[in-house]
Amino acid sequence: MLDALKFAFEILIVGVLALPWLVILSRMFASGPGSSLPSYWSVLPKPAQGPVAVAVVIAFGYVAGSAVSRASRDLFNDELLKPLPTEDAIRDAVYQDEYCGQDLIDMDEYLPFFEKPSLSNKSPLSDKSSLSAIHQNLRKQLKQAFCPNQDTPERLDAHIKEMFSLQEGELLLLGQDKVDRLKQYYDQITVLRGAALNGFILFMVCAFGCCGNVRERWPQSRIVKVLALVPAGSLLLYGVWSLSGHFRGLLVRAQNLYGVDHPTLAEVLQRLYGDPPFAELLFVLLGLIGLVVIAKAKKTTSYFRTCIVAATVTVVCFGGWWWTEVMYDFQVVHSQIELHPTPGAASRESGTAPHNGSEN
């Protein structure tokens, strides 16, 4: 059991961090003292209540953590997050800085979409001019693939995404003992990204609670009642508008893929399976919850302090996730240089030197 908990440790942490906003939501929607969870334990024998409670907490934490971590990965790589940095935008920036500003050139084994240059029949280390020409060709191809103003943004993003997947996949195949540092970064990304999403949800729930406090304080003012509903209504409308835009994008992709002007519903849904609208549905759900919470506000507690704390936690965790993503991408890029050194470096390590024509 301990090994299983160790395997899912970061998921459980994300699930535990979801408890604050779940508790606040349960209090907001609670209808009375009889709805509290401890009342359900009375049907169990006392000796069994402890183990059952532990099992329920672990199971709930794993389910909640898995859901939040997957939703956070979709949200933090969704176009709705722009102009804030997304996962793809961070990776594009790192790869363009590295491959356009430095001579990381010996990467032809990981570029199946490039035309690989071939050496002459001589040994790869026997002709310096041929080796230099190959390196120059690789530089040119790398710049065409990764550097701005060389191709459309969509093709640049596709090249970088494929390059990253190939490099990351080779590193992971080396085994866990070889990629321990990489796994640490990945676990940190999962926790920080999930914590940022949990903090954002907590902030929005508490912000809706603050609007409910305002509505409760001036119950006779119709203007205040309407204005208190504006944040939740705006979020709901934005989510609906984004959801419609998501489906319009799916329709365009289905048209391009099948070459028809009016694809069938099944063809559009086939595109939906690969790109579910988690981020858009999250905004719609939060907007609906906000409308209910604000309209129901009666003798509610103050949520202002919790709202400030949640906003601070969200900003801090988002910044931590941002920089950890950068460090993870750097680790992937530079690990390839150690796995596949340049021919000159390989010859120095083996104690041999390239043939320069002066030896007999």
pLDDT digits (tens, 9 = 90+) for 258-269: 777 777 777 777
Query: What's the mean pLDDT when you consider all of the chain?
Result: 77
Q: Classify 110 as helix, strand or coil.
A: helix
- Tokens (6 digits) for 74: 């979709």
Helix (H, G, I), strand (E, B) or coil at 148: coil
pLDDT for 120 beyond 60: no
* pLDDT of res. 350: 46
State residue 45 phi and psi, 5-degree precision.
Answer: -60, 145
Bond before 83 cis per omega within 30 degrees: yes
Where residue 204 falls among pLDDT bands split at 50, 70, 90? very high
Q: Check pLDDT > 80 for residue 303.
A: yes
255, 261 Cβ separation under 8 angstroms: yes
Angle, CA of 60, 62 and 66, to the nearest 5°? 120
Task: Compute the distance between CA of residue 102 and CA of residue 53 in angstroms, rounded to an integer.
Answer: 56
pLDDT score recorded for residue 58: 84
**Residue 34: is its pLDDT beyond 70?**
no
Helices (H), the chain: 2-7, 9-17, 19-29, 46-75, 87-101, 128-146, 153-172, 180-217, 222-228, 230-258, 265-274, 278-296, 304-339, 343-350
Work out the number of other CB atoms within 10 angstroms of the CB of residue 123.
Answer: 11
- 340, 341, 342, 343 alpha-carbon torsion, rounded to 10°: -90
Of how many residues is the chain composed?
360
pLDDT of residue 279: 87
Q: From CA 38, how far away is CA 181, in angstroms rounded?
A: 42
Average confidence (pLDDT) over 239-266: 82
- Per-residue pLDDT for 275 more than 90? no
Q: What is the mean pLDDT of residues 209-226?
A: 85
Burial 264-279 (b: 16+ CB within 10 A, else e): eeebbebbeeeeebeb
Q: CA gyration radius for the chain?
A: 27
pTM surpassing 0.75?
yes
Are 120 and 109 within 8 A, CB to CB? no
Q: Which amino acid is at 278?
A: F
pLDDT at 257: 77
Q: How confident is the model at residue 122 (pLDDT cuts 50, 70, 90)?
A: very low
What DSSP designation does 147 have? Answer: S
Torsion of CA 158, 162, 167, 169, to 10 degrees: 140
Confidence at residue 180, expressed as pLDDT on a 0 to 100 scale: 85
Task: Provide the angle, in degrees to the nearest 10, between the axes of the packed helices 278-296 and 180-217.
Answer: 30
Q: Residue 119 pLDDT > 50, yes or no?
A: no
Of the CA atoms within 13 Å of residue 39, those in its CB half-sphere come to: 5
CA distance 86 to 246: 17
Model confidence at 43, pLDDT cuts 50, 70, 90, reads low
The pair of structure tokens assigned to 23 is 């508790």
More confident site: 287 or 333:
287
Average pLDDT for residues 268-275, to the nearest whole number? 77
| Token pair recorded at residue 24 | 């606040």
Q: Does residue 320 have a pLDDT over 50?
A: yes
Cα atoms found within 13 Å of the Cα of residue 254, Cβ hemisphere only: 21
Nearest to residue 158, comparing CAs of 171, 176, 149, 146? Answer: 146
Structure tokens at 290: 């906000």
